[in-house]
Chain A
Amino acid sequence: EAQVTQNPRYLITVTGKKLTVTCSQNMNHEYMSWYRQDPGLGLRQIYYSMNVEVTDKGDVPEGYKVSRKEKRNFPLILESPSPNQTSLYFCASRMDRVSTEAFFGQGTRLTVV
């Protein structure tokens, strides 16, 4: 089954404790992205990757890091989480730049206290 898998689904952490949210896709997609969803703001792109070792900032990259060492994986790293990073996070992938569909993971609800 074609899918994007995020882990964990739910996470509560404390300010300053480094964490990683994993994302994996099994469709051999080139493009992967991370979004955060906040009430009244929709989804905003954090980072995206066009292929292995190629990443770029989206609209809200501050406080986040990513890496793309393998095509299937695109982890999101919060080196020092803060309460304003409490949000619902989505990973997504699509085949290429002009694909007509993006596949989303199930979402990760992060709370930073």
Chain B
Amino acid sequence: AQKITQTQPGMFVQEKEAVTLDCTYDTSDQSYGLFWYKQPSSGEMIFLIYQGSYDEQNATEGRYSLNFQKARKSANLVISASQLGDSAMYFCAMRGGNIPGGNQFYFGTGTSLTVIP
């Protein structure tokens, strides 16, 4: 079974501070992909960052980095220097590696981040 767990329903962070959003996953696949998406109040889903299971380096995209700990099956999102525009819902997702699992995405329940001025 594939499963994504986000244990933080809501988080607050002071503007300009860093914040870590937790994500753990459960899979028996050897090859898989991990994603983070941002959903602002307007509703659209915005791709942030991707980590492949065989990637040795943690993924980074601007102020976003993914803290990938394969043995612990965690893929936490770190946002550095938070901005007011970062206030949104954040979803962790996993793409399975083995057909047919490779065709499915599994999402967590999301973490609502509020950046405080």
Bound together, the chains give a CA A101 to CA B33 distance in angstroms of 10
Given contacts A33-B105, A50-B103, A98-B102, contact A43 B91 (CB under 8 A): yes
Question: What distance in Å separates the Cβ of A99 from its nearest Cβ neighbour in chain B?
Answer: 8
In the assembled complex, the Cα of A40 lies from the Cα of B110 at a distance in Å of 8
Q: How far is the CB of B72 from chain A (nearest CB, A)?
A: 21
CA distance A68 to B35 in the complex (A): 26
Chain B positions within 8 Å of A97 at CB level: 99, 102-103
Q: Is A74 an interface residue when CB atoms closer than 8 A count as contact?
A: no
Chain A window 33-57, contacts with chain B (Cβ cutoff 8 Å), 1 for yes, 0 for no: 1010000111111001010000010
The listed residue (B4, B95, B100, B107) touching A56 by CB distance below 8 A is: B100
Are B103 and A102 neighbours in the complex by a CB distance under 8 Å? no
- A104 and B45 within 8 A (CB): yes
Per the CB 8 Å criterion, the residue count for chain B at the interface is 25
Chain A residues within an 8 Å CB radius of B37? 104
* A45: chain B residues within 8 A (beta carbon): 104-106
- Within the complex, the shortest CB–CB distance from A31 to chain B, in Å, comes to 7
B114 to chain A, nearest CB (A): 17
Q: Does A107 contact B (CB under 8 A)?
A: yes
Min Cβ gap A103→B in Å is: 8
Which A positions have Cβ atoms within 8 angstroms of B? 31, 33, 35, 40-45, 48, 50, 56, 58-59, 88, 90, 92, 97-98, 100-104, 106-107, 109
Q: 14 additional contacts, CB 8 Å, given A40-B109, A45-B106, A58-B104? A: A35-B105, A41-B109, A42-B4, A42-B91, A43-B107, A48-B104, A50-B103, A56-B100, A97-B99, A98-B102, A102-B105, A103-B47, A104-B37, A107-B45
